[in-house]
């Protein structure tokens, strides 16, 4: 099967760009967004993106490490995000052959499912540790994250879209 829309041939990705994007996502996650729990999880979004695009470069190990950093940084149980992100990375890698055939909003739907699964894992961990169910506003953050998917995929793919010969008259 061939996708009906045109696709560009992308440049190979640079590892430094992947690392930088994860650092930026961690930074965005540590920004104290004020309605607590409503802000999208940028690390999960970046992880889903790279697991879908580069399943051989970014995988469960990266997800687990990022999860540990998020856990320590936000002062929650150590391992909560690590578990959620490893599951997220696994499902993203499993879906990676399928998702990229869809249009960008179709991809966003898949990503919404992935992020909801990650949030569900975190919820299960906290409920098992004895916390109360904090309310249905929990699903807002994954849905917001999925709504950001077109922006995220545009920004994160931008360096790979550059032409090889740099033309001074072109803006990008």
- Give me the residues that bind other proteins (CB under 8 A), please: 7, 9-10, 12-13, 23, 26-34, 36-37, 39, 53-54, 56, 59-61, 63-64, 67-69, 71-80, 82-83, 86-87, 90, 93-94, 100, 125-126, 129-135, 137-138
Q: How far is CA 14 from CA 7, 44, 79, in A?
A: 20, 20, 29
127-131: long-range contacts, CB 8 A cutoff, minimum separation 24: 129/77
Q: Are 69 and 115 in contact (CB under 8 A)?
A: no
- Minimum distance of other proteins from residue 152's CB (angstroms): 18
- Could you give the CA distance from residue 11 to residue 142 in angstroms, rounded to a whole number? 30
- Minimum distance of other proteins from residue 139's CB (angstroms): 11
Radius of gyration from C-alpha coordinates of the chain: 17
- Minimum distance of other proteins from residue 169's CB (angstroms): 28
Q: With respect to other proteins, which residue has the nearer C-beta, 102 or 105?
A: 102
Q: Are 149 and 108 in contact (CB under 8 A)?
A: yes
- Minimum distance of other proteins from residue 144's CB (angstroms): 14
- Minimum distance of other proteins from residue 60's CB (angstroms): 5
Q: With respect to other proteins, which residue has the nearer C-beta, 36 or 167?
A: 36
The Cβ of residue 108 has, within 10 Å, a number of other Cβ atoms equal to: 20
End-to-end CA distance of the chain: 31
Q: With respect to other proteins, which residue has the nearer C-beta, 53 or 146?
A: 53
Q: With respect to other proteins, which residue has the nearer C-beta, 39 or 144?
A: 39
Q: With respect to other proteins, which residue has the nearer C-beta, 134 or 151?
A: 134
């Amino acid at each position: 099967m061939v996708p009906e829309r045109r696709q560009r041939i992308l440049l190979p990705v640079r590892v430094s760009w992947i690392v930088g994007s994860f650092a930026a996502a961690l930074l965005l996650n540590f920004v104290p967004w004020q309605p607590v729990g409503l802000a999208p999880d940028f690390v999960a979004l970046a992880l889903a993106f790279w697991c879908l695009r580069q399943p051989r470069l970014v995988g469960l190990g990266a997800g687990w490490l990022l999860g540990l950093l998020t856990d320590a940084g936000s002062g929650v149980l150590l391992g909560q995000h690590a578990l959620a992100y490893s599951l997220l990375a696994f499902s993203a890698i499993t879906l990676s052959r399928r998702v990229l055939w869809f249009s960008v909003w179709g991809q966003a739907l898949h990503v919404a499912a992935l992020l909801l699964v990650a949030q569900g894992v975190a919820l299960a961990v906290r409920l098992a540790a004895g916390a109360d169910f904090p309310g249905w506003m929990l699903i807002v953050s994954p849905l917001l994250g999925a709504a950001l998917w077109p922006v995220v995929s545009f920004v994160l793919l931008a360096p790979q879209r550059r032409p090889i010969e740099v033309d001074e008259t072109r803006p990008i």
